[in-house]
């Protein structure tokens, strides 16, 4: 049995997999809120305390850069070490991979019903594939064809500088420079970033915050779902939420187009993370593809690139399980 995990800044999902069986049939899938635990080790002790399964290895997709089997998470105060996990839980092996490498690794396993197409395009066989995933933060990964198969890779591109694509976004950048020494894409295009955009509209007087909305936000533990919910409902009085979500979609579209050009992602661009599946109507309403295609001289070229939203909420978990299985079946490397 293989233990696989999707370790995010907000929550951790765990499940067990029979590596000789169907990875779409996990056992004992559970979700844990990260803020309730001091470490992944503590989460695993809780998860395994009543388990009778014999676990030989583990693979975790983690929201943070992996260096020599060690991760210091960026948006959660956890440090994770593969050697320590092996010792603590008597594992033969434990692999730590970036969560975007896990998501990228899942893409070839996804069914058509697990994808929502924004642009069908004309995918190039064996073309590079890009992945951008706004959730609590924003992650970026990709796949390239080599040695007869696709290989998945992760980046920390979500922490690269935010590149404004309009006069309004220029003003947003100036506003956020008063809050951050370096304004990253993640500070705008993520669950952490949406409240920043909302505050920009509110503080600069570009949109009014009605009293009822201020009360709802004050009572909420997390402002992001409130902003998204009222933006999608598009009821009178929610204009500030609608403007916030519009900027989010436009920035995501422009960043996705930048990524597609940078990687030459003729195999497609995939939007993962927790936010895109929740805002599907917003992609058309706020012209995601216009922002994606708005590259001088390259509109027709980019129009050929497929763009899909990943609907499977366990894609990172599936990708981590598949990576662990690959390592167990091909210990010499894949």
Task: Find, among 305, 3, 262, 251, the residue nearest to 124 by Cα.
Answer: 305
Q: Give the number of other CB atoms < 10 A from CB of residue 166.
A: 14
Per DSSP, 184 falls in state B
- pLDDT category at 323 given cuts 50, 70, 90 is very high
3-state SS assignment for residue 270: strand
- pLDDT category at 192 given cuts 50, 70, 90 is very high
Helices assigned H by DSSP within 19-114: 40-48, 82-89, 99-106
| pLDDT tens-digit readout, 159-183 | 999 999 999 999 999 999 999 999 9
- pLDDT category at 53 given cuts 50, 70, 90 is confident
Structure tokens at 218: 């004050």
What local confidence, expressed as pLDDT, does residue 51 receive?
Answer: 83
- pLDDT category at 331 given cuts 50, 70, 90 is low
**Domains, the chain, with CATH or none:** 2-99 (3.30.420.40), 111-311 (3.40.367.20)
**What distance in Å separates the CA atoms of residue 212 and residue 196, rounded to the nearest whole number?**
20
| Pairwise pLDDT comparison (54 vs 14), residue with the higher score | 14
What local confidence, expressed as pLDDT, does residue 334 receive?
Answer: 45
What local confidence, expressed as pLDDT, does residue 37 receive?
Answer: 95
Give the residues across from 105 on adjacent strands.
Answer: none
Q: Rounded to the nearest 10 degrees, what angle do helices 194-203 and 167-177 cross at? A: 100
| pLDDT tens-digit readout, 105-143 | 999 999 999 999 999 999 999 999 999 999 999 999 999
Phi and psi dihedrals of 26, rounded to 5?
Answer: -70, 160
- pLDDT category at 330 given cuts 50, 70, 90 is confident
**What distance in Å separates the CA atoms of residue 230 and residue 239, rounded to the nearest whole number?**
9
What average pLDDT does the segment 137-155 reach? 95
What average pLDDT does the segment 61-73 reach? 94
CB-based contacts of 199, cutoff 8 Å, min separation 6: none
| pLDDT tens-digit readout, 222-267 | 999 999 999 999 999 999 999 999 999 999 999 999 999 999 999 9
For 23-102, strand residue ranges (E) read 27-33, 57-62, 66-67, 70-72, 79-81, 93-98
What local confidence, expressed as pLDDT, does residue 332 receive?
Answer: 55
Looking at every residue in the chain, the average pLDDT score rounds to: 95
What average pLDDT does the segment 291-298 reach? 97
What local confidence, expressed as pLDDT, does residue 299 receive?
Answer: 96
**What distance in Å separates the CA atoms of residue 137 and residue 37, rounded to the nearest whole number?**
19
**What distance in Å separates the CA atoms of residue 300 and residue 291, rounded to the nearest whole number?**
13
What average pLDDT does the segment 14-22 reach? 92
């Amino acid at each position: 049995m293989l233990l696989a995990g999707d370790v995010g800044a907000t929550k951790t999902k765990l499940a067990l997999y029979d590596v000789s069986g169907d990875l779409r049939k996990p056992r004992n899938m559970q979700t844990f809120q990260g803020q309730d635990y001091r470490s992944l080790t503590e989460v695993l002790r809780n998860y395994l305390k009543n388990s009778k399964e014999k676990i030989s290895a583990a693979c975790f997709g983690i929201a943070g850069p992996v260096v020599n089997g060690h991760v210091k998470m960026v948006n959660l105060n956890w440090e994770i070490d593969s050697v320590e996990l092996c010792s603590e839980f008597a594992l033969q092996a434990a692999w730590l991979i970036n969560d975007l490498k896990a998501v990228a690794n899942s893409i070839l396993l996804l069914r058509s019903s697990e994808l929502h197409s924004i642009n069908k395009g004309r995918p190039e066989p064996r073309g590079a594939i890009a992945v951008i995933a706004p959730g609590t933060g924003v992650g970026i990964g990709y796949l390239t064809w080599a040695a007869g198969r696709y290989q998945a890779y992760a980046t920390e591109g979500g922490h690269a500088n935010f590149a404004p694509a309009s006069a309004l976004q220029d003003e947003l950048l100036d506003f956020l420079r008063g809050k951050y020494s370096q304004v990253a894409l993640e500070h705008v295009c993520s669950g952490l970033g949406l409240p920043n955009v909302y505050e920009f509209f509110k503080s600069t007087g570009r949109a009014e915050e009605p009293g009822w909305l201020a009360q709802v936000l004050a009572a909420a533990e997390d402002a992001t779902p409130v902003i998204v919910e009222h933006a999608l409902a598009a009821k009178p009085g929610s204009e500030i939420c609608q403007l916030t979500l519009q900027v989010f979609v436009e920035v995501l579209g422009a960043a996705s187009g930048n990524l597609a050009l940078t990687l030459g992602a003729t195999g497609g661009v995939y939007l993962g993370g927790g936010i895109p599946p929740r805002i599907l109507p917003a992609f058309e309403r706020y012209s995601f593809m216009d922002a994606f295609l708005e590259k001088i001289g390259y509109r027709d070229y980019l129009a050929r690139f497929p763009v899909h939203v990943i609907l499977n909420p366990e894609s990172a978990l599936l990708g981590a399980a598949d990576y662990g299985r690959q390592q167990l079946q091909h210990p010499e490397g894949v």
